[in-house]
Amino acid sequence: MCIFYGPRRPPLCVRTEEQERGRLAWQKAKDRHDRKVELRKQELEQLAKLKASATQWLEAERLRQYIGAVKQSAVSNSEASEELADWIAWARIKADCIDPLVAVSDAILDSPEPRSPGYHY
């Protein structure tokens, strides 16, 4: 309900109890909706992280299988060498770096992309 005091003064509006109850009910429903939206957003973010971790883990496992097959092939064919042993050690470290279940860091891959030097005289 609004009371008008004249053309130069804004009207004074007073909410009735029924209007206030309606406003409070709407606010409560909006707050409930906002909470559900936020929970859904958080759930989707967590699911995306889970999927990414699972993909990284599978990739690390696939690399380990490949490394094992390379080693087995070299041993079977009597082609084992120090160079191959070095490569196998390097490859295992890279697989561990990809694996989210192994807490290993790689100084080269985990560092920022090198910046190209500027051109100066």
Domain ranges of the chain: 17-98
**pLDDT score recorded for residue 102:** 94
Q: Is the pTM of this model over 0.75?
A: no
What's the distance, CA 86 to chain centroid?
34
- For the cut 90, the answer to whether the pLDDT of residue 112 exceeds it is no
Are the beta carbons of 31 and 42 closer than 8 angstroms?
no
Beta strand 12-13 pairing with 2-3: antiparallel
pLDDT in tens, 4-59: 666 777 766 767 888 888 889 999 999 999 999 999 999 999 999 999 999 999 99
Residue with tokens 């699911």: 47
pLDDT in tens, 52-101: 999 999 999 999 999 999 999 999 999 989 999 999 999 999 999 999 99
Structure tokens at 86: 């070095």
